[in-house]
Amino acid sequence: MSTYVKNNLNSIWNQTLQLIKESQFFDPAVFNAYIVDSTLYDVIDDVAIIVVPLNLNKKVFDDCLPFLQQKLSEVMDQNIKCEIKIKKEINEINASQTAVKKEIILEDKLLDKYTFDNFIVGQSNRESHAAALSCAMTPGRFFNPLFIFGNSGLGKTHLLHAIGNYVKQNQPDKKVLYIYSEDFITLVVNSIKDKTIEEVKEAICNVDYLLIDDIQRLAQWGRSQEIFFNLYNKLISNDKQVIITSDIHPSELKGIETRLISRFSSGLSVGIDSPEFETAYAILEKKLEGRQEEVLVQREVLEYIANRFSADVRSLEGALNNLIFKSILFNPDIIDLKFAIEVFKENPAAVNHDDSLSVMRIKKAVCEFYGLTRQQIESKSRTKSISNARHIAIYLCRKHMDLPFSKIGAEFGGRDHSTIMSSFDKMTKMIKQNDMTAQAIGKIESKLGVS
Ligand code: ADP
Ligand code: MG
């Protein structure tokens, strides 16, 4: 590799040209036409590369190569061989080197299939979705870094790709790098081996968005962590957006240096949770959209799956795929509850699901539906929305559990038998008169797996 900086090369070449001129080896007209317009591009060991504009110049230089070498050797005080190149060749070499660098570093690993459009938003992921969208729209301004944590299969990777795809579409001039933590380690290890680590670091520092997935996997990699730490600091201090995912909260990351963890906590950390029934149901509907089987699957089957497999979205998808696979195998006319029960009859998540109703489950379902707390529906509050939800919960307890009114009263803040009875009557009438109420009750019942 060259040890000469550009200024030195210019000065060496100017002195050489001066010597050539003074030697009067060339006619001044030839010197001015063919020799002056040249540069000393580089010196590698004892080989000097001289660049000239055209093939014609190159011919003149090649014809008197020994003389040129002698003059340059005098200036440099060492024996030098010259190679004459025309400008075009050098440009091509430079371009190919830059292309190789780009290919190593900014390999585009964004998956088109994960977007904000096909990400279903519900209570469990509302915060992380909002924060991700905000970062995609206004990078580096509000939440930097954004740290999304949550168990496996809840949509963290989906959100990262969604950010990348959004930026690609709406701000095409911005550079986005999605990288899985283990791929980051491989990249660092390989580029140290290939001696391209400086180029890799430079390229990462040039991105506008760094999306780094499953950071907990950086844990045991000392050297890579150090490199990541430096890159991370540079990006953040240049207001470049960094978004990190992890399957645990930043404060619980083990094996990652505390100075790095404390930096992670300086932005915004948001959790992502298991989907509630509605979100799980909507995800299933989305995943089924446009598939041939869509028309065959009955609503109650999706409810059945949403109720049993919503610990994480990956399991939900897995259950749906399993159902579809079996339907291709057995080709039923319709995919109904009976078929689903048969498909999942040996699956522990389905078999061990507790279908039995309890007052607690009813209260919980009603509260979730109306966005209330259990204390609110048990309270004495007469606020319309609260008392309406309370009447519905009471109605459901009586209808599906057939509990005595006094027992239900005890479960709802010690109300007496007649109050509960009038709540039940009121609701029974209202269902007949008011479609909205009937629909709301229907939805809560299907969530509870009763109807
Ligand atoms: P994680 O990275 O948290 O382990 P993923 O992002 O890989 O989870 O999600 C697992 C699967 O679930 C993916 O196929 C993803 O598309 C899907 N998924 C997760 N959350 C949602 C959601 N809210 N809407 C639609 N699909 C989702
Ligand atoms: Mg993931």
DSSP 315-380: HHHHHHHHHHHHHHHH--SSB-HHHHHHHTTT-HHHHT------HHHHHHHHHHHHT--HHHHHS-
Span from the CA of 111 to the centroid of ligand 2 (angstroms): 13
Pocket test for ligand 1, best of 215, 312, 313, 315 (most atoms within 8 A of CB): 313
C-beta of 71 in contact with ligand 1 (< 6 A): no
Span from the CA of 175 to the centroid of ligand 2 (angstroms): 22
Dump pLDDT digits (tens) for 146-205: 999 998 999 999 999 999 999 999 999 999 999 999 998 888 888 888 888 888 898 999
Pocket test for ligand 1, best of 121, 178, 314 (most atoms within 8 A of CB): 314
C-beta of 319 in contact with ligand 1 (< 6 A): no
pLDDT at 12: 92
pLDDT at 188: 87
Please report the atom of ligand 1 found closest to the CA of residue 150: 3
* pLDDT beneath 50: ranges in the chain: 1, 102
Span from the CA of 213 to the centroid of ligand 2 (angstroms): 7
pLDDT at 3: 52
C-beta of 152 in contact with ligand 1 (< 6 A): yes
Cα angle: 306, vertex 373, 428; to 5 degrees: 75
Please report the atom of ligand 1 found closest to the CA of residue 275: 23
φ and ψ at residue 168, rounded to 5 degrees: -60, -40
C-beta of 154 in contact with ligand 1 (< 6 A): yes
pLDDT at 262: 84
Please tell me the distance from the alpha carbon of residue 74 to that of residue 19, in angstroms, as a whole number: 9
**Residues forming beta bridges with residue 44, ordered by sequence position:** 47
pLDDT at 384: 92
Give the end-to-end CA distance of the chain in Å, rounded to a whole number. Answer: 78
pLDDT at 104: 56
φ and ψ at residue 166, rounded to 5 degrees: -65, -45
Span from the CA of 124 to the centroid of ligand 1 (angstroms): 12
Tell me, yes or no, if the pTM score tops 0.75. Answer: no
Span from the CA of 55 to the centroid of ligand 1 (angstroms): 60
pLDDT at 161: 98
**Which residues make Cβ contacts (< 8 Å) with residue 177, sequence separation at least 6?**
106, 204, 207, 209, 210, 211
Span from the CA of 123 to the centroid of ligand 1 (angstroms): 15
**Which residues make Cβ contacts (< 8 Å) with residue 357, sequence separation at least 6?**
400, 401, 448, 450
Q: Write the burial class of residue 78 (CB in 10 Å: 0-12 exposed, 13-18 middle, 19+ buried).
A: exposed
Is 180 in contact with 213 (CB distance < 8 Å)? yes
Please report the atom of ligand 1 found closest to the CA of residue 286: 25
Is 167 in contact with 209 (CB distance < 8 Å)? yes
In the chain, the amino acid numbered 289 is: E
